[in-house]
Amino acid sequence: MSTPRAPKPAKLVTGIILKEKGLIEQLADELAGRFGPVDIISRWFAFDYTPYYEPEMGSPLFRRMFAFKTLIDQQDLSQIKIFTNDIELRYSGNGKRAVNIDPGYMLCERFVLATGKNYTHRIYIGNNIYADLTLIYQEGGFKKLPWTYPDYADESMLSYLKNVRDKYIADLRRKEDK
């Protein structure tokens, strides 16, 4: 018989896709106001993996990633997605979003994103939100899965996420030492 144990806290990570780079400071401030200080900021990534967002948001599109210092409860991911959806709505005009915010979390063994879209590999986590197992960490590196979005499988992104994972492990050690 397995003995239930409380899950470890997770490191919150958000990806923001937008056309107007000038919005990023305001978005970062809104997110930090809710989730605490940003720990690790990525460089700008060109978002040219799919034209999915272009009819709504235009082009060229860019992505920036933020990891937050304060660790979260894994069970809070659905509420976090609802909060980021509300931000997206506030930045919308004429039925079109100006930003897309993808919240997720990092654990030692995996990287998970939140989505409102169901699919075969996604697990319902409440509030009409699903958890998408995006990457797994094995044998010293992230492994993509058949459904991993191409931008999250890119070597630059994997390098950023490895830095986030390393910081997360250091955060856990500090928390355990207290």
DSSP 70-128: EEE-GGGHHHHHHHHHHHHHHT-BTTB-SEEEEEEEE-SSEEEEEES---TTEEEEETT
CA 76 to chain CA mean position, Å: 13
- pLDDT tens string 68-112: 999 999 999 999 999 999 999 999 999 999 999 999 999 999 999
Residue 176 has pLDDT above 90, yes or no: no
pLDDT, the chain, mean: 96
For residue 175, the model assigns a pLDDT of: 82
pLDDT digits (tens, 9 = 90+) for 146-164: 999 999 999 999 999 999 9
Q: Is the pTM of this model over 0.85?
A: yes
pLDDT category at 59 given cuts 50, 70, 90 is: very high
CA distances in angstroms from 143 to 4, 39, 82, listed in the order given: 27, 24, 28
Instruction: Give the up-direction half-sphere exposure of residue 152: CA atoms within 13 A in the CB hemisphere.
Output: 25
Environment class of residue 110 by beta-carbon count within 10 Å: exposed (0-12), middle (13-18) or buried (19+)? buried
Q: If 0-12 CB within 10 Å is exposed, 13-18 middle and 19+ buried, where does residue 114 land?
A: buried
**Cβ pair 39, 167 in contact under 8 A:** yes
Q: What is the pLDDT of residue 126?
A: 97
**Length of the chain, in residues:** 178
